[in-house]
Structure 1
Amino acid sequence: MKRLCEIFRSSRKPETYLYVDRARGLEDVPEELLQQFGEPVPVMVLLLGPDRKLARANAADVLAKIEQQGFYLQMPPTEAELLRRERADG
């Protein structure tokens, strides 16, 4: 299953992103989350399929969350993830 997704960056929390179905926009995102997220800043629109390579998320997981709850919230990387990334690059 493929879905046209829009990705928004948080204006308050660095490296925090919301993935939503482009046709529905932000209407399924809870108001409380939007208040914490800050002003959603559009980043890109992409056709997302389960086999698509994403930098910090599994595309199949993103699609499943959008199907279940209407959005996928990508949080900043943890210290452990940053260490793994640094070792892989080094």
Structure 2
Amino acid sequence: MLCAVYKTNKKQGMYLYVPKKGHFEDVPEALMSRFGVPELVTIIALEKRERLGGVDKEKLIDALNEQGFYLQMPPKEDNLLEKHRESLGLSKNPDKKF
């Protein structure tokens, strides 16, 4: 099974996987408008890959077969301020005073 991988310039680390190059017919219009202009990254032969960086291969194949696309979101970023406050023995969020 082949799969085309596209990235967006709107959000770093967000990728859209579709079963064929240029096949966006199954991707909801709302998602395509938020994703922006897709930029082809690569075409992958899934059967030749044991692992895919950051993507569960079985979930990807299931999504491609069932939905016609798979959206990979960027990993959640750590909140460095919360980590620093915790390291100082403070609560994660400062008390808000208005």
Both proteins in one fold, TM over 0.5: yes
What residue in structure 1 maps to residue 5 of structure 2? 7
Corresponding letter in the other structure for 1:59: K
Does the residue aligned with 1:79 lie in a helix, a strand or coil? coil
1:67 aligns with 2:61: no
Give the superposition deviation at 1:51.
Answer: 5.9
Could you give the per-residue CA deviations for residues 34-81 of structure 1, whole angstroms, max 9, x where no partner exists? 00001100000011139621110111110001111000000000136x
TM-score using structure 1 length: 0.78
Q: CA RMSD in A?
A: 1.9
- Once the two structures are superposed, the pairs formed by residues 22-33 of structure 1 within 5 Å of their partners are 22=20, 25-33=23-31
Give the superposition deviation at 1:27.
Answer: 1.2
More strand by share: 1
What residue in structure 2 maps to residue 79 of structure 1? 77
Work out the CA distance in 2 between the residues paired with 1:77 and 1:16.
9
Work out the CA distance in 1 between the residues paired with 2:58 and 2:47.
7
TM-score using structure 2 length: 0.72
Work out the CA distance in 1 between the residues paired with 2:29 and 2:48.
28
What residue in structure 1 maps to residue 53 of structure 2? 55
Give the superposition deviation at 1:24.
Answer: 6.9
> Are the structure 2 counterparts of residues 45 and 51 from structure 1 closer, same or farther at C-alpha, using a change threshold of 3 Å?
closer
Gaps of at least 5 residues in structure 2 are 79-98
Work out the CA distance in 1 between the residues paired with 2:68 and 2:22.
8
Which aligned runs of 4 or more in structure 1 are off by greater than 3 angstroms?
A: none
